[in-house]
């Protein structure tokens, strides 16, 4: 199965008010996004994240706190907030192995 998503904005507190998201905190939002993702995505599914996955600039933190918690294999298209992606890449893949 292939899934497509964009603008998750993990770890981005201001997105709650900018987009009127129904959460009281960034931790609540991140947890719910992960739960919703994992409720539909299978381990062998491929997920295309079409930009603005997170504002967090540190790839190790992004992997530990978000990507490693998400089911599936991942393809990232670089959005304007994706400073965590290495160099000037426009496309990056991450295969999570259980």
Per-residue pLDDT of 50-97, as tens digits, reads 999 998 998 889 988 999 999 999 988 888 888 888 776 666 666 544
Sign, Cα dihedral of 83, 89, 90, 92: negative
- Residue ranges per domain, the chain? 2-95
CATH code of 2-95, in short, is 3.60.21.10
Do 73 and 44 touch, CB atoms closer than 8 A?
yes
According to DSSP, residue 33 is labeled H
Sign, Cα dihedral of 80, 26, 19, 42: positive
Per residue in 4-32, pLDDT (tens digit) is 999 999 999 999 999 999 999 999 999 99
Query: What is the chain's alpha carbon radius of gyration, rounded to the nearest angstrom?
Result: 13
Mean pLDDT of the chain: 89
Tell me what percent of the residues of the chain surpass a pLDDT of 90: 63
Q: What is the pLDDT of residue 96?
A: 45
């Amino acid at each position: 199965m292939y899934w497509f998503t964009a603008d998750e904005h993990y770890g981005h507190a201001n997105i709650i008010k900018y987009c009127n998201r129904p959460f009281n905190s960034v931790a609540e939002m991140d947890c719910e996004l992960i739960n919703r993702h994992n409720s539909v995505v299978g381990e062998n599914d491929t997920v295309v994240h079409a930009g603005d996955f997170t504002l967090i600039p540190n790839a190790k933190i992004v992997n530990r706190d978000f990507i490693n918690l998400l089911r599936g294999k991942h393809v990232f298209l670089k959005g304007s907030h994706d400073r965590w992606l290495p160099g000037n890449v426009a496309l990056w893949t991450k295969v999570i192995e259980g």
